A and B are shown apart, each in its own frame.
Chain A
Amino acid sequence: MKLEFMKLKEYAAIDNFNCSEKSIFFYGNKIDDRSKSMVEYLSLHCEFGIEILYENKSNSFIVNSNNIKFNGLEEYILEKIERNDIKNILLESTSLGYVELLLVLLNISKDNCAFQITILYAEPLEYTTKSQNELDSETYELSEDYHPHKYIKPFLLNEPHDFTSNNSATLISFIGFEENRLGRVIEKNYDDNKYNEFIYVMPVPGFKFGWENISLSKHYHLIDNNKEIHYAPADDPYETYRILDKIVENNPNKKIVIMPLGTKPCTIGASIFLVNKKIENRLDIATKFDFPIKSKGRSSGISKIYEYKLRLV
């Protein structure tokens, strides 16, 4: 079953959001104010929560403190949902990482139940800025470190992407605040030569007036004049989906790799897009990620809550 957007809604505070009956929620790492408050609120109002953390080193998950193999996630999730007769599924995306979000969406889409799916996201009031000193030139330290880029199975290209296939792909990269993330992809490509085309999606307009300028100024040196640039609002998964659809349509017969290195709502849009394409059995669309180790307390406060309602059709 495919995912379909139902409606997008904003709340001034999480208290204004009502949980439907028979709801469970998925959440991830509570690293800042907003993810903590979100999980706290949902814990009180849902049947129960499932914490999912992806472990990069062992390529497995820790689900509610249990070690689950990468391919065991589907079974675990579906069993929980079926056993508890769940009708509504909430994804607390502020805390959920990309892999977790993508795979939960994929796994619930495989089930033939008509779930109501709600994705929640709390926008930060502010991102923590690194203290300015004359010796350091970096400003935003949203991630402490990154891991090597890796595919997220089953979102692989249909043939090994290597010298033998002699087949370069198009990279669609979302852009956020940290230029290192895109820089790493481009630098690595000098050695790998996997991408012969780069398409960028900028978060415009940003969450706040002026934030898009941060993204632009941080990345301008990485983006050549002849590269294709698209714009998706920082807070709008639907628009993101639409733009991805357009890009893919305009690039027929090309292998496409999507890297959501931008805002969470854009990552949500990309995840829904990828899941639907997987359901359609499109073998030419893949995704890779850099698994950043997010800095603790990387943001402070909550500005708005976004609710993105989906259904399975």
Chain B
Amino acid sequence: MKSKSLTSSFSMNRAEESSLDMWGEYVLPIYYKEYNLLQNEKSTHITGGRGIGKTAYLLYHCYPTILSAKKTEIQDEELEKIGLYLKLDSELLEDMTSDVLDKNWIHAFNAYIGLSIFIELSKFLKVFLLSSSKNEESKKQVKDLVLTKRVVNFLGIDKDILFIDYEEEGHLLRSEFIDWLCSPEKNLPFKFKAKEKIEYFIKLIKEVKIFSDTKFHIFIDEFEHFNEEQQQVINSWIKHVPENTIYNVAYKKYYEPTVNTVGSESIQPRNDYREVNIEFDLIGEKNFKLIASEIIINKVQTVFDDIYIELKDYDLNYLSNEKFIELRKKDVYRDKIDKIISNMFPAISLKEVSKIILADKLLRGKVKISIEKALRKDSNFKAEDFIDDRKPEETILNAVLLHRKSINPSILLDKFNNNINEYAPWKNNNLFGAILYIYNKERINRKCPYYGGFKHFIEQSSLNIRHTLELVLQCFIYAEKQDNSFQKLQDITINIDYQANVVREVSRNEFDRKIAYLGTYGKKLKKIAERLGKLFELAHNNPAQSFAEVNLFALISSAEEAKLSVDDIADYEFLLRELLMWSVVTERDNSKKWNISQNNSLKEYRLHPMLSSYFGISFRKKRNYNFNYSEIKTIFLGTDVEYQELYKKYAEKNNNEDDNPEEVTLLDMIK
């Protein structure tokens, strides 16, 4: 019975789909204390990648959460800072530009923002009245707060109205605004400076005793949908902060808004605003697993209306409460969470996967064939000599090591029989590659179980909580289809084969059905992802696995660079930024790498690991291809024919890889 509600609870995995009240739902990031947006006296630029939970973070600071009905009491101090969330209709914003409306655009833009914020203020007062604040005197004042005819005359309202009743009026005014937008040759019904009027309305609210010291933070989401002239207006508001209102903007990571204002000044980080990146500042790669686990556990507990025994001591809604952050940092707590989530989505070791391969007739056959192929030239050995069920990892490694020219079969056999400790560095560097090599030969019928397990979900999600939640949802759907219903919290566990199937499905879905739909250039992004994926796949299917787990690329400068035009470079950089912005590839700093060669780029790019299962490649950050500019141009901008040439080149290289010297790794050097 419960599994049905589990799937419906997880299928709504976007903040926007749930309520605006984040209390009890929003899991505070570990470093939240330094990044409480309401504590800042300056503006904040909030950035975050696709699916990191940007909207939820903003909404946590806004009045529906501050005044949550789930809170049994609200202290007066909590009302000293109030957030208002604003997400405008991006398609409508496009009509409010100087191109479309000439000089009237600025009035339209001001009107749109002003009319929307006035409504939010009125809604805020209404929510306050319904909240559990015990300050009855202030509630009475709010009820009686009047927008006099004189105050609202600029909106064409010719009577006094109660502030709490403005909302209804406000919607009508916004309709009037739309009417004008459709026929802008008519007289503009609204001409006012939004910033000043908003500030004025706020001053009226401050007449209520409880709000006398309140500052209002306005969070403008999806700033990337504002055009440059619209951004300049907001930047001017950020530069010249009104007394009671602070304007903050949020946009996708890698997007770069203009720093110009309407005047000659520009806004500067630190002086005018602070930057917060949700992934790095708030969560941190190391804490992503904890937060993702907490979100999932919180959701399943809500569905079952029960709490895990291990968590019974904590307050209800502790995850949304700043007071409990220190506790959540402690190992004792983390271990509890880890235990619960690992029971739900158990993982499997590479050794166990190796055993599975040998126990599976089909896969075992592939191991044998690979060894036979490698030994073809050498009739002194039989494939069976290199297969031993007691040594599963070493056996799997034999299937690729024997393809290497540098490996003498008799020496390897001696190690295999008498000294398997010598396999240790290979286990580290090559075992997962070798396992994938075997599984890729049977990709349709078998899914490598190593992709399963919560810790691997986390690696494949790469800081995208939507991916993690999608994997979890699909696991629950799978369980539901198998009639695997969970009666109580402790029953929830998904077997590893289901998990691997789900990962493949989600990965395929992400590639096949998502990338092409992203933003305006989705089709191009998909093509690039496909081209990169196919090249990485080639390296993974190299029989010798001498260059294992290639899933990154870097650029090396060379004479080729000169062949690229300025336009080519601009096009490449544009598409790369789109890929990053939509998290189709992720970026990492290469500058601290121990063996970086001089002509390497300082950045490495990785195909998003959520796509790994689809291409049969590793999700671990391992090795990179060094592409020169000409190759990059082919991958990003080239025709299909040009790409096929490049693909062929790499295919040949990977087929003859056993002629190449084995890559020397750090581990080999220590050996």
Which one of B84-92, B140-148, B615-623 is at the A interface? B84-92
Please give, as numbers and ranges, the residues of chain B lying within 8 Å of A283 by CB-CB distance: 175
Q: Are A157 and B86 within 8 A (Cβ)? A: no
A6 at the interface (CB under 8 A from B): no
Q: A156 to B177, alpha carbons, bound, how many Å? A: 11
Among the interface residues A133, A160, A188, A283, which one has the most CB atoms of the partner chain B within 10 A? A160
Which one of A46-54, A141-149, A228-236, A305-313 is at the B interface? A141-149
B94 at the interface (CB under 8 A from A): yes
Q: Are A162 and B185 within 8 A (Cβ)? A: no
Smallest CB–CB gap between A112 and chain B, Å?
Answer: 19
Q: Are B644 and A164 within 8 A (Cβ)? A: no
Could you tell me which residues of chain B, from 499 to 538, have a CB within 8 Å of some CB in chain A?
A: 509, 512-514, 516-518, 520-524, 530-531, 534
Q: Are B523 and A145 within 8 A (Cβ)? A: yes
Q: Are A160 and B88 within 8 A (Cβ)? A: yes
Which one of A13-21, A178-186, A239-247 is at the B interface? A178-186
- Majority secondary structure, B binding face: helix
Q: Are A58 and B99 within 8 A (Cβ)? A: yes
Q: A6 to B299, alpha carbons, bound, how many Å? A: 58
Closest to A181 in B: B517
> A135 and B644 in contact (CB under 8 A), knowing A71-B185, A156-B178, A190-B14?
yes
Smallest CB–CB gap between B353 and chain A, Å?
Answer: 29
Please give, as numbers and ranges, the residues of chain B lying within 8 Å of A8 by CB-CB distance: none
A151 at the interface (CB under 8 A from B): yes
> A159 and B85 in contact (CB under 8 A), knowing A150-B94, A193-B17?
no
Please give, as numbers and ranges, the residues of chain A lying within 8 Å of B91 by CB-CB distance: 148-151, 161, 288
Please give, as numbers and ranges, the residues of chain B lying within 8 Å of A150 by CB-CB distance: 91, 94
Could you tell me which residues of chain A, from 98 to 151, have a CB within 8 Å of some CB in chain B?
A: 133, 135-137, 145-151
Please give, as numbers and ranges, the residues of chain A lying within 8 Å of B531 by CB-CB distance: 135
Q: A164 to B122, alpha carbons, bound, how many Å? A: 11
Smallest CB–CB gap between A236 and chain B, Å?
Answer: 29
Closest to A221 in B: B513
Q: A53 to B170, alpha carbons, bound, how many Å? A: 38
B267 at the interface (CB under 8 A from A): no
Closest to A167 in B: B171
Interface size range of chain B in the complex: 35 or more
Q: Are B89 and A148 within 8 A (Cβ)? A: no
Among the interface residues A59, A163, A288, which one has the most CB atoms of the partner chain B within 10 A? A163
A297 at the interface (CB under 8 A from B): no
Q: A312 to B438, alpha carbons, bound, how many Å? A: 70
Q: Are B516 and A59 within 8 A (Cβ)? A: no
Q: A137 to B513, alpha carbons, bound, how many Å? A: 12
Smallest CB–CB gap between B523 and chain A, Å?
Answer: 6
Q: Are B100 and A159 within 8 A (Cβ)? A: no
B116 at the interface (CB under 8 A from A): yes
Q: A192 to B17, alpha carbons, bound, how many Å? A: 10
Smallest CB–CB gap between B514 and chain A, Å?
Answer: 7
A153 at the interface (CB under 8 A from B): yes
Q: Are B116 and A162 within 8 A (Cβ)? A: yes
Please give, as numbers and ranges, the residues of chain A lying within 8 Å of B87 by CB-CB distance: 162-163, 192
Tell which of A136, A151, A180, A183 touches B92, judged by Cβ atoms closer than 8 Å.
A151
A211 at the interface (CB under 8 A from B): no
B120 at the interface (CB under 8 A from A): yes
Interface membership of chain B positions 295-331, coded 1 if the CB is closer than 8 angstroms to chain A and 0 otherwise: 0000000000000000000000000000000000000
Q: A150 to B116, alpha carbons, bound, how many Å? A: 21
Q: A186 to B14, alpha carbons, bound, how many Å? A: 13
Smallest CB–CB gap between A281 and chain B, Å?
Answer: 11
Please give, as numbers and ranges, the residues of chain A lying within 8 Å of B518 by CB-CB distance: 187
Q: How many A residues touch B, CB cutoff 8 Å?
A: 41
Closest to B641 in A: A133
B647 at the interface (CB under 8 A from A): yes
Q: Are B178 and A136 within 8 A (Cβ)? A: no
Please give, as numbers and ranges, the residues of chain A lying within 8 Å of B184 by CB-CB distance: 71
> A160 and B92 in contact (CB under 8 A), knowing A71-B183, A154-B183, A222-B513?
yes
Please give, as numbers and ranges, the residues of chain B lying within 8 Å of A158 by CB-CB distance: 175, 178-179
> A180 and B174 in contact (CB under 8 A), knowing A150-B94, A151-B95, A153-B181?
no
Q: A186 to B640, alpha carbons, bound, how many Å? A: 28
B16 at the interface (CB under 8 A from A): yes
Please give, as numbers and ranges, the residues of chain A lying within 8 Å of B100 by CB-CB distance: 59, 70
Q: A149 to B85, alpha carbons, bound, how many Å? A: 23
Q: A217 to B181, alpha carbons, bound, how many Å? A: 40
Smallest CB–CB gap between A216 and chain B, Å?
Answer: 16
B636 at the interface (CB under 8 A from A): no
Closest to A185 in B: B517
A250 at the interface (CB under 8 A from B): no
Q: A133 to B512, alpha carbons, bound, how many Å? A: 16
Please give, as numbers and ranges, the residues of chain B lying within 8 Å of A221 by CB-CB distance: 509, 513
Please give, as numbers and ranges, the residues of chain A lying within 8 Å of B205 by CB-CB distance: none
Closest to A194 in B: B89
Q: A184 to B95, alpha carbons, bound, how many Å? A: 21
Please give, as numbers and ranges, the residues of chain A lying within 8 Å of B177 by CB-CB distance: 160
Q: A70 to B120, alpha carbons, bound, how many Å? A: 33
Smallest CB–CB gap between A223 and chain B, Å?
Answer: 12
Smallest CB–CB gap between B556 and chain A, Å?
Answer: 25
Q: Are A160 and B182 within 8 A (Cβ)? A: no
Q: Are A153 and B182 within 8 A (Cβ)? A: yes
Tell which of B16, B88, B522 touches A184, judged by Cβ atoms closer than 8 Å.
B522
Interface membership of chain B positions 163-201, coded 1 if the CB is closer than 8 angstroms to chain A and 0 otherwise: 000000001001101110111110000000000000000
Closest to A187 in B: B517
Q: A169 to B50, alpha carbons, bound, how many Å? A: 24
Please give, as numbers and ranges, the residues of chain A lying within 8 Å of B523 by CB-CB distance: 145-146, 180
> A59 and B99 in contact (CB under 8 A), knowing A162-B87, A163-B86, A184-B517?
yes
Q: Are A183 and B643 within 8 A (Cβ)? A: no
B60 at the interface (CB under 8 A from A): no
Smallest CB–CB gap between B520 and chain A, Å?
Answer: 6
Interface membership of chain A positions 8-52, coded 1 if the CB is closer than 8 angstroms to chain B and 0 otherwise: 000000000000000000000000000000000000000000000
Q: Are A180 and B183 within 8 A (Cβ)? A: no
Q: A259 to B42, alpha carbons, bound, how many Å? A: 42
Closest to B11 in A: A224
A165 at the interface (CB under 8 A from B): yes
Q: A177 to B171, alpha carbons, bound, how many Å? A: 39
Q: Are A193 and B16 within 8 A (Cβ)? A: yes
Please give, as numbers and ranges, the residues of chain B lying within 8 Å of A59 by CB-CB distance: 94-95, 99-100
Q: A135 to B634, alpha carbons, bound, how many Å? A: 14
Could you tell me which residues of chain B, from 52 to 94, have a CB within 8 Å of some CB in chain A?
A: 85-92, 94
Closest to A155 in B: B182
Tell which of A151, A160, A180 touches B522, judged by Cβ atoms closer than 8 Å.
A180
Closest to A162 in B: B89
Please give, as numbers and ranges, the residues of chain B lying within 8 Å of A180 by CB-CB distance: 516-517, 522-523
Q: A205 to B391, alpha carbons, bound, how many Å? A: 61
- Contacts from B to A (Cβ < 8 Å): 14, 16-17, 85-92, 94-95, 99-100, 112, 116, 119-120, 171, 174-175, 177-179, 181-185, 221-222, 509, 512-514, 516-518, 520-524, 530-531, 534, 640, 643-644, 647
Known A145-B521, A146-B520, A159-B171; further 18 A-B contacts with Cβ < 8 A: A59-B94, A71-B183, A71-B185, A135-B530, A136-B640, A148-B90, A150-B94, A151-B91, A153-B95, A153-B181, A154-B182, A156-B92, A156-B178, A160-B116, A164-B120, A164-B174, A183-B513, A191-B222
Can you list 29 A-B pairs, Cβ within 8 angstroms, ordered by A?
A58-B99, A59-B95, A70-B100, A145-B521, A146-B523, A148-B90, A151-B91, A151-B92, A153-B181, A156-B92, A156-B178, A158-B175, A158-B179, A161-B92, A162-B88, A162-B92, A162-B116, A163-B86, A163-B221, A164-B119, A164-B174, A183-B513, A183-B516, A186-B517, A187-B518, A187-B522, A192-B87, A222-B513, A288-B91
Question: Which 7 A-B residue pairings sit nearest by Cβ, starting from the closest?
Answer: A154-B182, A183-B517, A187-B517, A193-B16, A163-B87, A162-B89, A164-B116
